């Protein structure tokens, strides 16, 4: 009987530990651009549906061998879960975009987007643990997503 209670207790702890990740499993960001108007678009989703969630964005780069972080000002559009922004980082160097969804913290989804030399979004990656800096450095060092 003690074994059954112990197993149930362990199972309950495990379920409680992974429940937040399971509930947040559908939250993600898709970034595209630049479009014909020179702007980028950020679409936010929860469970595959557009969602008005908080997004914070930065351009992360290496220019002349030095790391730079440039805040990206997102402008909310009339469309639910859609933001726009224009390039605010230098033309020179290697750049990537890093975006957090929701409030700051270690368990907030982070989307990283690699950019080509012209600033066009190539690929993106969703990072669940951490702030995405390790993965961002890999992108900037040419190791890709």
- Position with higher pLDDT, 26 vs 114: 114
Identify whether the C-beta of residue 34 lies closer than 8 Å to the C-beta of residue 120.
Answer: yes
- Residue 97: which pLDDT band, with cuts at 50, 70 and 90? very high
The residues with which 82 forms a beta bridge, in sequence order, are: 43
- Is pLDDT of 6 > 60? no
Report d(CA 138, CA 140) in Å as an integer: 5
Q: Is the Cα dihedral 99, 102, 104, 106 positive or negative?
A: negative
Q: Which domains are present in the chain?
A: 26-140 (2.60.40)
Report d(CA 95, CA 90) in Å as an integer: 9
- Is pLDDT of 15 > 50? no
- pTM tops 0.75: yes
DSSP letter, residue 142: T
Q: How high is the pLDDT of residue 3?
A: 56
Q: Which class for 139: exposed (0-12), middle (13-18), buried (19 or more C-beta within 10 A)? A: buried
Residues 68-86: pLDDT tens digits?
999 999 999 999 999 999 9
Q: How high is the pLDDT of residue 104?
A: 62
Helices (H), the chain: 2-23, 133-140
């Amino acid at each position: 009987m003690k074994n059954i209670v112990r197993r149930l207790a362990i199972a309950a702890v495990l379920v409680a530990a992974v429940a937040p990740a399971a509930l947040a499993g559908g939250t993600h960001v898709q970034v595209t651009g630049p479009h014909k108007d020179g702007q980028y678009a950020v679409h936010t989703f929860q469970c595959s549906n557009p969602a008005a969630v908080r997004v914070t964005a930065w351009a992360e780069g290496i220019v002349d061998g030095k790391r730079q972080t440039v805040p990206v000002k997102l402008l909310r559009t009339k469309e639910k879960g859609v933001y726009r922004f224009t390039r605010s980082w230098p033309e020179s160097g290697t750049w990537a975009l890093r975006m957090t969804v929701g409030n700051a913290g270690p368990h907030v989804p982070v989307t990283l987007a690699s950019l080509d030399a012209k600033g066009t979004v190539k690929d993106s990656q969703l990072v669940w643990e951490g702030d995405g800096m390790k993965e961002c450095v890999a992108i900037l060092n040419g190791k890709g997503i």
